[in-house]
């Protein structure tokens, strides 16, 4: 009897409440008008002025650039918060974490160069097609995590500043460009028409490296014991 009450309280009651909540949510979703009142026409009208032809990239880096600026700040904040928790870093190349199979090592050797190339391509194509800094950065981060897991690169005791530079780079360049738009007399993050493409390309490239590095740093879940990526062949 006691057990039944416990299950009722811990599982059935939340299930019932969530179901009711879900029904209300569903009603709200179904009630959305079939003809959306969006910003499609505004974006399409201003697209020729944005410097790029992919509307999503134009929204991310030009029309609503401050969203992306704050998002990079959130990413940096996550690294700072994780580093301030003093948890034990992941020991890469340690037998307890990595199954030492030849398959992983060979696969990573084949994949890593292709992944870095793909990361660059995805970032580059972002001006015209789906792609951009975030997609490219996550491919780059995946390549780095694979390399770390296969012990192809490791982190060794040295200064911590290269890691800090990677983590801060994206936000720093973004803030400099945003400040520059104010200096030349435009609105905050309002790029000059002629330089819009060049500025966004620089921004995208820097963001790709910074996002890729930051995500790989977050994978450690702590301050890496050391500072610079280097080969770990001599550690066996």
Partner 1 sequence: MSQFQIYGLASVLIFSIGLYGFIVHPHLVRKILAMNIMSSGIFLLLVSAARRDMHAIPDPVPHAMVLTGIVVSVSMTAFALALTRRVVAATGVAALLWMDAPVEAAPIAARNDEHSRDLDRVADPVAADRDDIHLSV
Nearest residue (CB) to partner 1, 20 versus 184: 20
Residue ranges in contact with partner 1 by CB under 8 A: 10-11, 14-15, 18-19, 21-22, 25-26, 29-30, 32-36, 38-40, 43-44, 55-56, 58-60, 64, 67-68, 71, 74-75, 77-78, 81-82, 85-88, 96, 132, 134, 211, 215, 218-219, 221-222
Query: Exposed (0-12), middle (13-18) or buried (19+): which is 148, by Cβ within 10 Å?
Result: buried
Nearest distance, CB of residue 2 and partner 1, angstroms:
12
Residue partners of 227: CB distance under 8 A and separation at least 6: 155, 156, 157, 158, 159, 160, 161, 162, 163
* Four-CA torsion 152, 157, 162, 166, nearest 10 degrees: 50
Distance between CA atoms of residues 121 and 132, nearest Å? 9
Kindly state the smallest distance separating residue 155's Cβ from partner 1, in Å: 16
Residue 192 or 221: the one with the smaller Cβ distance to partner 1 is 221
CB-wise, 77 or 176, nearer to partner 1?
77
In the bound state with partner 1, the residue whose beta carbon lies nearer, of 18 and 184, is 18
| Helix residue ranges per DSSP H, the chain | 2-7, 13-30, 40-50, 55-58, 65-83, 102-125, 133-149, 161-183, 196-220
Q: How far is CA 102 from CA 50, 105, 152, in A?
A: 49, 5, 12
Query: To the nearest whole angstrom, how small is the minimum distance from the Cβ of residue 229 to partner 1?
Result: 19
In whole angstroms, the minimum distance from the beta carbon of 211 to partner 1 comes to: 8
Cβ closest to partner 1, residue 82 vs residue 105: 82
Cβ of residue 190: shortest distance to partner 1, in angstroms?
Answer: 17
């Amino acid at each position: 009897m006691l057990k039944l009450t416990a299950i009722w309280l811990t599982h059935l009651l939340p299930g019932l409440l969530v179901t009711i909540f879900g029904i209300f949510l569903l009603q709200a979703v179904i009630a959305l008008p079939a003809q959306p009142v969006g910003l499609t026409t505004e974006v399409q009208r201003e697209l020729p002025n944005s410097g790029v032809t992919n509307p999503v990239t134009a929204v991310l880096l030009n029309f609503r650039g401050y969203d992306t600026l704050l998002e990079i700040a959130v990413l940096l904040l996550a690294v700072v918060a994780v580093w301030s928790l003093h948890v034990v870093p992941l020991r890469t190349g340690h037998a307890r974490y990595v199954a030492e199979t030849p398959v992983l090592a060979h696969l990573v050797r084949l994949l890593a160069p292709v992944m870095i190339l793909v990361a660059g391509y995805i970032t580059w194509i972002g001006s015209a097609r789906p792609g951009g800094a975030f997609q490219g950065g996550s491919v780059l981060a995946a390549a780095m995590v694979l390399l770390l897991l296969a012990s192809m690169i490791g982190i060794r005791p040295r200064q911590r500043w290269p890691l800090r530079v990677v983590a801060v780079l994206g936000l720093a360049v973004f803030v400099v460009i945003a400040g520059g738009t104010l200096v030349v007399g435009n609105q905050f993050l309002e790029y000059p028409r002629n330089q819009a493409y060049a500025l966004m390309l620089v921004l995208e490239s820097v963001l790709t490296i910074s996002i890729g590095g930051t995500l790989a740093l977050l994978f450690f879940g702590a301050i890496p014991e050391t500072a610079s990526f280097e080969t770990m062949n001599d550690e066996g």
